[in-house]
């Protein structure tokens, strides 16, 4: 960048009309300087890390309720004459399955021989047991490099 001045001559007259001396303005070039900055960056390895896992075990008490279902089967003798095979039926929490047989008499008849009553029983009980649990932890160690950054 440069700064420029210009030169000009001027003649001035007085009130009496006389001319006076010439004034001279000089032109001067003044150079201006500016600095510029250039920045760059680069990656420098300063070290490395190693990440691994370690599995550790510990004992812990498990205390939970376990549910258990079972069925009870009861045979009920009937020996009752019937005309048709009765369907399987439900009475409350008991399922009744009829068992029939044909019996020869002077005439043939269906005879309800027995019913099988199946009751659904639900129970719970407390169960305690020691179990081994595993847990992983991260282990990080720094590995320095051979070169040092400049």
Q: How many CB atoms lie within 10 A of CB 86?
A: 14
7 pLDDT above the threshold of 50 = no
C-alpha–C-alpha distance, residues 129 and 124, integer Å = 16
Higher pLDDT, 61 or 12: 61
**63-90 pLDDT tens trace:** 999 999 888 999 998 988 898 999 999 9
Q: What is the average pLDDT score of the chain?
A: 81
What local confidence, expressed as pLDDT, does residue 100 receive?
Answer: 92
Domain boundaries, the chain: 2-144
Q: Which two tokens stand for residue 115?
A: 């019913």
What local confidence, expressed as pLDDT, does residue 138 receive?
Answer: 86
What local confidence, expressed as pLDDT, does residue 21 receive?
Answer: 54
Q: Which two tokens stand for residue 42?
A: 């680069």
18 pLDDT above the threshold of 90 = no
C-alpha–C-alpha distance, residues 79 and 109, integer Å = 12
The structure's pTM equals 0.37
**C-alpha neighbours within 13 Å on the C-beta side of residue 52:** 5
Higher pLDDT, 55 or 7: 55
Average pLDDT on 105-134 reads 86
Q: Are 73 and 117 in contact (CB under 8 A)?
A: yes
Instruction: State how far the alpha carbon of 3 is from the alpha carbons of 29, 38, 78, 142, 144, in Å.
Output: 6, 26, 128, 59, 56
DSSP 16: T
């Amino acid at each position: 960048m440069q700064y420029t001045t210009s030169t000009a001559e001027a003649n001035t007259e007085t009130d009496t009309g006389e001319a006076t001396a010439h004034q001279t303005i000089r032109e001067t070039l003044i150079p201006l300087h500016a600095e510029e900055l250039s920045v760059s960056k680069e990656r420098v390895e300063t070290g490395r890390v190693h990440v691994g896992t370690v599995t550790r075990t510990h004992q812990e008490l498990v205390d939970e309720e376990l549910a258990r279902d079972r069925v009870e089967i009861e045979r009920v003798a009937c020996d009752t004459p019937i005309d048709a095979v009765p369907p399987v039926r439900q009475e409350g929490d008991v399922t009744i399955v009829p068992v029939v047989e044909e019996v020869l008499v002077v005439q043939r008849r269906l005879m309800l021989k027995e019913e099988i009553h199946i009751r659904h029983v639900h129970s719970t009980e407390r169960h305690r047991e020691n179990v081994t649990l595993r847990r992983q932890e991260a282990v990080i160690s720094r590995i320095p490099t051979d070169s040092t950054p400049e």
